[in-house]
Amino acid sequence: MQQPDDASRDESPSAVEARAAAYLLPTYAWTRFHPRDGRGARLVDAHGKAYWDLLAGIAVNALGYRHPALVRALRKEAGDLLHVSNLFYQPAQAELAERLVTLSGLSRAFFCNSGTEANEAALKFSRLLAPGKPGVVALENSFHGRTFGALSMTGNEPYRTPFEPLVPGVTFVPANDVAALRAAVTERTGAIFLEPIQGEGGIVPLSDAFLRAARERADAVGAALVFDEIQCGLGRTGFLFAFQRSGVVPDVVTLAKPLGGGLPLGAVLTGPRLEGLVRPGHHGTTLGGNPVACRLGLTVLDELVEGALVARVADVGPWFGRKLAALARRSPAIAEVRGCGLIWGIELDREAAPVQAKLLEKGFVVGTARKKVIRLLPPYVVPKAALAAFVLALEEALKEPVA
Ligand SMILES: Cc1ncc(COP(=O)(O)O)c(C=O)c1O
């Protein structure tokens, strides 16, 4: 017998849409897609149609759906304490901190519930490193979240304008413009916030020269160098941490998305320059670093590192990159392909949303970024055959008349 609280599980798509329209604040422009089941990189909708998922819940489901290790860990946690608060010691949280610190070479971890919260915390911790220096340098087309601090560092006018005035003191420079970065970072700068690969900004990898210049300027003026690896971190580049790709070590790394295996979990990792600065009372959260989320976090890291999923991304990435480059050569509709590992942006000569809709019809779930970019963030378990089939489907979609 179905339990009353389960009643909406099998509801028809139109009934769910009607209830959402009536009762949810319309903060999202929902796609009429109703995923109800899935396994690995496969999703099945309410009508029983199967799709290859090349978006992974926006870079969250690195292990794919129903990964046996995550299911096992969650079942075990269900019989344990679900929450005790950060007033008391939590074994899973301390263990996850140790794992992240050891793997990153940084010094300490703070846990929260989301990427936005991680960036808010990183902004506060940066202020402790550079007291009296309220300036922040961030990038045009960056995305760091939607709360006031994170939004203030987000270089996207439509997101910002309705909520101004925002937190003052943020200067935006174009990605990979070393001269502009050097000029923008002054003695008043307390933090430089960068995504090593811009996600929402259209999958724009920052050059090693740009990252090195950021490190040099942060050191010269005493500012914190913060890398937001919320979308590009935790294996997606083929390295566990995106900063390991360039070798430029930041003072702070923010993480979220795949870390909790599908449950809300964000993290801030701090390096040696922040040692001793963050003290009791400076920051906190009730649910952040919850035992269940941290156990799943440990499971995710086990699969990424011991389970060799990061190595798989490093192997599949260049192969897929070559396939995309070959497609770009034969398809005039593709202006540029950017990315590495399993984070790719395909810049089109046309709006991406109608192409995304066509791909959904053909059985591929993909994202978009800015107006003209198809964004791919597949689970790390995605079969090569699915990626090869996507390339053919995209080629076909780009040949069809523009609606
Ligand atoms: C680079 C980056 N930073 C921050 C965020 C915000 O994370 P969350 O949505 O978990 O708050 C995102 C989310 O897309 C992101 O891609």
Element (H, E) at 208: helix 208-221
Please provide the distance, in angstroms rounded to a whole number, between the alpha carbons at the two ends of the chain.
46
pLDDT one-digit tens code per residue, 298-308: 999 999 999 99
Give the integer Cα–Cα distance in Å for 256 and 266.
4
- Ligand 1 center from residue 198 Cα (angstroms): 11
- The total of other beta-carbon atoms located within 10 Å of residue 352's CB is 23
Give the integer Cα–Cα distance in Å for 57 and 161.
27
Ligand 1 atom showing the smallest separation from residue 200 Cα: 16
Span 276-291, average pLDDT: 98
Which tokens belong to 383?
């079969």
Report residue 56 CA to chain centroid gap.
Answer: 10
Which tokens belong to 174?
């174009």
- Ligand 1 center from residue 146 Cα (angstroms): 9
Polymer length in residues for the chain: 403
Ligand 1 binding pocket (C-beta < 6 A) is: 58, 114-116, 119, 143-145, 195, 199-200, 228, 230-231, 256
Question: Could you give the count of Cα atoms lying within 13 Å of 365 in the half-sphere of its Cβ?
Answer: 26
Span 111-121, average pLDDT: 98
The topology (CATH level 3) of 81-305 is: Aspartate Aminotransferase; domain 2 (3.40.640)
Question: Strand pairing of 135-139 and 170-173?
Answer: parallel
Q: Residue 267: beta bridge partners?
A: 111, 255
Which of 243, 255, 257, when mutated, tests ligand 1's pocket best, judged by the most ligand atoms within 8 Å of its CB?
Answer: 257
Span 37-41, average pLDDT: 98
Closest CA to 341 of 300, 302, 371, 382: 382
pTM as predicted:
0.97
Higher pLDDT, 393 or 3: 393
Ligand 1 atom showing the smallest separation from residue 266 Cα: 10
Q: Rg (Cα) of the chain, in Å, rounded? A: 21
Q: Which residue puts its alpha carbon closest to atom 3 of ligand 1? A: 144
- Ligand 1 center from residue 53 Cα (angstroms): 19
Give the integer Cα–Cα distance in Å for 348 and 102.
41
The CATH superfamily label for domain 12-66+308-399 reads Aspartate Aminotransferase, domain 1 (3.90.1150.10)
- Ligand 1 center from residue 117 Cα (angstroms): 9
For the chain, the 3-state helix, strand and coil shares in percent, each to the nearest 5, are: 40, 20, 40
Closest CA to 119 of 226, 264, 196, 241: 226
Task: Write down the pLDDT at residue 249.
Answer: 98
Domain boundaries, the chain: 12-66+308-399, 81-305
Give the integer Cα–Cα distance in Å for 53 and 359.
11
pLDDT one-digit tens code per residue, 317-330: 999 999 999 999 99
pLDDT at 403 exceeding the cut of 80: no
- Ligand 1 center from residue 7 Cα (angstroms): 31
